[in-house]
Amino acid sequence: MRKLFLAAALLATCAAHAQPAEWWNKSSQGFRSNAQTARMPASSPPRPLQEGAASKDEEAAAAEFARLAKIGFNDKAARSIILARNGRILFEDRAWHVSRGITPLGFSVSKSLTGIAVGKALCSGNIQSLDDRADKYVPRLVGTSWGNSTVRQLLMMGSGAIRTMPVGWKDASTSALHEAIYTGLMKADYVDAMIGADDKAGPPGDFRYSNYDTIALSLVVEGASRTPFAEFFAKEIWANVRSEKEGAWMHTQNNQVAAYVGFSASPRDWVRLGFYVLDSMEEDSCFGRYMREATKKQLTADFFSWSYGYQIWTDCISSTDAFCFYGYGGQLLVMSLKKRLVMHAHSVSHSVDGVWLPTYGVVWDKLAVPTNPAP
């Protein structure tokens, strides 16, 4: 039996922090009308995405996905879904009340993007080694669990700073404090908050899923590159995605990027980002090697049935090579290098995960390894 996602602790925590419908409606727009955001321009022309199957196996896979997607959309939490392969959209749909122009927030999918940015900073020579301590690049972290950790340990959620809830915060009050990021009212300084929360709960390298570990990585990128994180991301990553619409990072009133939760993009641009990741993994380059390492198992998570790479979930669909960028409320960007298969899902509850993830696995099984080069 194909392994399903078993994260009862996470689901219980999310249920305890249930958000009203209007909040989720704003999330579908990336909170762009409320939050402080740094916008990243679209490309002209954008990366082309053709439509329709190019082979018999793709036709069969698309038909099966369409059949199973009806089950997914029976859940009112499902908002949009795209399945694409080798630069072609095989299936795309959204709930009847959802606008074509949505730019859904990725929530913790953003962590994976921060991990990618670390790779760019490493391969540009800004970060000299993943085994450097973080305080080499961020002096304000000296003496903290994050400063004492290496960049590699932070990539694997290994600061050991805090015993966290499954959603990545120390406790419910800390989680409530940081909700101000969605309204544009976040005034707290992230480093001050980190210093106040540092329990030094375990040695560096001890896996504890923590939003502050991702924030520390974004500060490392800024310190190493001497460039604001959103500007670095726009130049080194987003420009190469070749998006059709603007991307956006939420930030505090102090212009500190919410690297753990704050990126939004249109569904098709999320798919373009997925193909950018797969393209990068095929490169014979420093960044290609980094991405191949980032998307493979580095350790087993302590509360998921999945494994973890560099801010990226691995082994998320058994019997496949799929890896997952995964966020609160059922945000999914799932990729397979072997089949060049990308799926993006935007939902407002994890209840739909139990449809989308197995459905991806069913379709993966139906597809042959592509022999034609990607467009």
CA-CA distances (angstroms) from residue 268 to 53, 70, 141, 235, 343?
A: 17, 20, 38, 20, 10
pLDDT of residue 211: 95
Question: What per-residue confidence (pLDDT) applies to 167?
Answer: 72
Coil, helix or strand for 40? strand
**Backbone φ and ψ of 162, nearest 5°:** -135, 145
DSSP 3-state of 338: coil
H helix or E strand, kind and range, residue 281? helix 267-281
d(Cα 358, Cα 141) in Å, to the nearest integer?
Answer: 41
pLDDT (0 to 100) of residue 101: 95
pLDDT at 256: 98
Domain locations in the chain as residue ranges: 8-95+105-366
Q: What is the pTM of this model?
A: 0.95
Question: Bridge-partner residues for 196, per DSSP?
Answer: none
- The CATH T-level fold of domain 8-95+105-366 is Beta-lactamase (3.40.710)
What pLDDT does residue 1 have?
Answer: 35
The whole-number pLDDT of residue 154 equals 98
Output the pLDDT for position 77: 95
Q: How far apart are CA 268 and CA 80, in angstroms?
A: 11
Q: Which residues of the chain have pLDDT under 70?
A: 1-17, 165-166, 302-303, 372-375
Check residue 13 and give its pLDDT.
39
Q: How many CA atoms lie within 13 A of 152 on its CB side?
A: 10
Cis peptide before 373 (omega within 30 of 0): no
- Alpha-carbon radius of gyration of the chain: 19
- Give the angle 156-159-160 at the CA atoms, nearest 5°: 110
Instruction: Look at the chain and count its residues.
Output: 375
pLDDT of residue 170: 81
Is the C-alpha dihedral spanning 228, 231, 234, 235 positive or negative?
negative
| pLDDT value of position 291 | 98
Query: Could you tell me the two tokens for 169?
Result: 């915060």
Cβ neighbours of 47 (radius 10 Å): 20
The predicted pLDDT at position 163 comes to: 80
* Helix (H/G/I), strand (E/B), else coil: 191: helix
Q: Return mean pLDDT, the chain.
A: 92
